[in-house]
Structure 1
């Protein structure tokens, strides 16, 4: 199959699934903001000392200023970088852990599967957000710690999906044939099981990115975010005391979170439709 045919099929799939199309367009929009932030922003978001609590459009500030004189519009632009960084890195950690742990449990089975399944069940019973709060309180609230702890506490859902895929795939004819030809279990796991069972995990991980953004915003709103990093949650936290007198400080950051989370949900849901085996067979993908 040549590149042109692959591109044509991808275009057909994207056009036929509106959720996926809007999700991809939204991601492109966010990436443009992140890449060209220095050119899109009107001022340095880290600059203190300007006019405090300027209203929307006052003194050249498109969305006003906060209590420190920082330009809210520029902070929104740079806050997108933080949100996408948290979403991508935490989702990668969660996805890689889930794929490896779930794949090993489902493929090898037996005692390994029983132990891993119990660990997954324990993690899924724990109140994740409160566990994150505890870890952040113990090890600090730097943005790196936030990303790592979100990734390490959200892998069980990916592991369950990968385990279910591995349980099904290990009974397929091509896996049996690979075993008969003398390939090792590790070779089969990484050559056949994971590549063929990864698609539901990809869709779930994309949805998990939106949850990571909400988690980071929630931590910042509670005052547990990184104070040295501009983030939308931090903006809401700082604007909370001024919600009646300077509503713009927190409101626009909240709108940015809603839009970004919606984009990731659309992308994840669209990928879930497209990567569903029944959907792929029906459309001949």
Structure 2
């Protein structure tokens, strides 16, 4: 573990991404201290330009502080991204591990079930799920998780198929270990590296999907989010460019930071692949 940490600390792009991501997490955690009050409150005149007195990033059409919206919106995007990815990983691991280890008809049926979720494009399925249910942070998280797990399930299945006949697995079977013990103690630890990398990249996709859904008016109406801010500003780009530019920059930096962290993890956990 220490060797992996030292290797990651020597990875330049991975460290840049980690510093940016940690900065965004700090903003999200300490949002009530950095920008006290509600981001929905009007604190100035409408369309005040950036660097106005008391409004570093300007105000929107209702006089709301853009900086406050960005800081408070960080927690929404990160929370939905992380929780939905965690749920997708758990679902994908359960289905992919079962299909890969057991194989046969069970594996085939589980993969056919997985393909049902891949027939419809992920974003369209997420729109359908959120539109049917009442838009909220719970339905957003559930919808994004339900469209994100198939990729993780297929990856997990491929890793388990490659590992289930290896010598150390055969030795565990000969020692009388149960199937669950073999999966949890022998196969899963050796299959985690690509799953961790894919999960980290899935967080970025979840942040983008949440922003897109909020942009379309399918976000939680009680929470400020970056996608909602851009959606509110789309008809005022010529009048107040900063209303959409700064939330868009926040999304760009967050997604870029997560991708850089994922790239660093991939190079550290899979050094042979990264050298090719």
Q: What range is the shorter-chain TM-score in? A: over 0.9
Q: Which residue of 2 aligns with 1:181?
A: 175
How far 1:19 sits from its partner (Å)? 2.6
Deviations 1:223-279 (A, max 9, x none): 111121110000001111211111111110001101111011111122122211626
TM-score normalised by the chain length of structure 1: 0.91
Q: Which runs of 4+ in 1 moved over 3 A?
A: none
Q: Which residue of 1 aligns with 2:215?
A: 221
Q: Does 1:85 align with 2:79?
A: yes
CA distance in 2, matches of 1:40, 1:31: 13
TM-score normalised by the chain length of structure 2: 0.94
CA distance in 1, matches of 2:90, 2:272: 25
How far 1:63 sits from its partner (Å)? 0.7
How far 1:92 sits from its partner (Å)? 0.2
Q: Which residue of 1 aligns with 2:155?
A: 161
Q: Does 1:270 align with 2:264?
A: yes
How far 1:42 sits from its partner (Å)? 6.4
Tell me if structure 1 keeps the 8 A contact 2:4–2:269: no
Q: Which residue of 2 aligns with 1:53?
A: 47
| Equivalenced residues, count | 275
Unaligned runs of 5+ in 1: 1-5
Task: Specify which of 50, 61, 65 is matched with residue 67 of structure 1.
Answer: 61
Q: Does 1:170 align with 2:141?
A: no
Deviations 1:164-222 (A, max 9, x none): 11011111111111111111112211222222212111100110111111101111111
Residues 1:248 and 1:43: Cα distance change in structure 2 (over 3 Å): farther
CA distance in 1, matches of 2:50, 2:22: 27
Q: Residues 99-138 of structure 1 correspond to what in structure 2 (within 5 A)?
A: 99-138=93-132
Tell me if structure 2 keeps the 8 A contact 1:158–1:204: yes
Q: Which residue of 2 aligns with 1:211?
A: 205
Q: Does 1:239 align with 2:263?
A: no
**Local SS of the residue matching 2:21:** helix
CA distance in 1, matches of 2:6, 2:52: 47
Deviations 1:28-87 (A, max 9, x none): 112211222223226642323642221112232111111222110111111111111011
CA distance in 2, matches of 1:64, 1:142: 28
CA distance in 2, matches of 1:73, 1:143: 22
Tell me if structure 2 keeps the 8 A contact 1:106–1:164: yes
Q: Which residue of 2 aligns with 1:140?
A: 134
Unaligned runs of 5+ in 2: none
Task: Specify which of 34, 49, 56 is matched with residue 40 of structure 1.
Answer: 34
CA distance in 2, matches of 1:123, 1:277: 33
CA RMSD, aligned part only?
1.8
Tell me if structure 1 keeps the 8 A contact 2:96–2:152: yes
